[in-house]
């Protein structure tokens, strides 16, 4: 019987998964796999299986934001996934990260709007050390520099009436801003899954801008960064 939200089958699901926000990104990554085929499609949730360097993997999309993403995380956990890497994009909170650069979160600020309803806020959102090191080694093997540090996972895409603490978190050392990593890391810890993330910087988030047209994530630098990051994430996933 298929899962109710993602449509994934309850059995014969690979143990290792790459999760992404965009269905198109899931299709692009699946094209890199051997014997790739579509296994489920429902709403924003599109899933493929295939092989990378001889290891079966799952590639699934979860849409934008923690609430939808945790629906996928719950179902892939139920299906038997034990290792997961989120491949996505993030805004830079430091002058040291520019469009197309790679960033590996070691931990996440839990401002995601979901994880506080799963466990107390004192519970940490930390990536599995094995996954962080595997991502770092994979990036080095591709001769790609990758920074590491704290990511701010925030539920609000842009500010409206309330001011958001950009300067406070920047001052505390947060290097990037995105919308799903904390949700993944907390949920994975609860379910004893090994999880981490690889992010491609797609804009400068040091100054919050409510103008939707100020966000331009489809530049050549970002496209090229995602192409490199896809192979790095797959290598890290199968070599943990």
In this structure, is residue 47 part of a structural domain? Answer: yes
- And the tokens for 7? 């449509």
CA distance 32 to 20: 15
pLDDT for 157 equals 82
- Give me the CATH number covering residue 20: 3.40.50.1580
Token pair of 35 as six digits: 């014997």
State the pLDDT at residue 214: 76
Split at pLDDT 50, 70, 90, the class of 166 is very high
Give the count of domains, the chain.
Answer: 1
The residue among 117, 120, 90, 84 whose CA lies nearest residue 105 is 90
Task: Give residue 137's domain range.
Answer: 16-238
Closest CA to 116 of 173, 175, 66: 66
How confident is the model at residue 102, as a pLDDT?
98
**Cα–Cα distance measured from residue 43 to residue 50, given in angstroms and rounded to the nearest whole number:** 21
Tell me, yes or no, whether 95 lies in a domain: yes
Q: 77 near 153, Cβ under 8 Å?
A: no
- Specify if 135 maps to a domain: yes
pLDDT, average across residues 162-169: 91
CA dihedral sign of residues 178, 128, 147, 33: negative
Q: Given this model, what pLDDT does residue 105 score?
A: 98
6 part of a folded domain: no
Q: Residue 201 — φ and ψ, nearest 5°? A: -70, 125
Two structure tokens written together for 177: 């801003």
């Amino acid at each position: 019987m298929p899962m109710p939200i993602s449509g994934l089958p309850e059995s014969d699901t690979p143990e290792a998964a790459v999760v992404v926000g965009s269905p198109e990104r899931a299709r692009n990554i699946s094209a890199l796999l051997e014997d790739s085929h579509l296994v489920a499609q429902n709403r924003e949730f599109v899933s493929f299986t295939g092989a990378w360097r001889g290891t079966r993997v799952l590639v699934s999309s979860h849409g934008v934001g923690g609430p939808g993403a945790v629906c996928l995380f719950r179902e892939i956990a139920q299906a038997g996934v034990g290792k997961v890497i989120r491949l996505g994009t993030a805004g830079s909170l430091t002058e040291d990260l520019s469009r197309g650069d790679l960033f590996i979160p070691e931990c996440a600020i839990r401002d995601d709007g979901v994880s506080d309803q799963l466990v107390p806020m004192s519970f940490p959102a930390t990536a599995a050390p094995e996954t962080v090191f595997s991502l770092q080694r994979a990036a080095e093997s591709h001769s790609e520099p990758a920074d590491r540090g704290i990511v701010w996972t925030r539920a609000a895409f842009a500010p409206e009436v309330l001011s958001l603490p950009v300067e406070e978190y920047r001052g505390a050392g947060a290097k990037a801003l995105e919308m799903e990593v904390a949700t993944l890391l907390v949920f994975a810890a609860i379910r004893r899954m090994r999880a981490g993330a690889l992010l491609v910087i797609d804009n400068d988030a040091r100054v919050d801008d409510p103008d939707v047209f100020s966000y331009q994530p489809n530049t050549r630098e970002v496209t090229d960064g995602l192409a490199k990051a896809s192979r790095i994430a797959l290598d890290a996933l199968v070599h943990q």
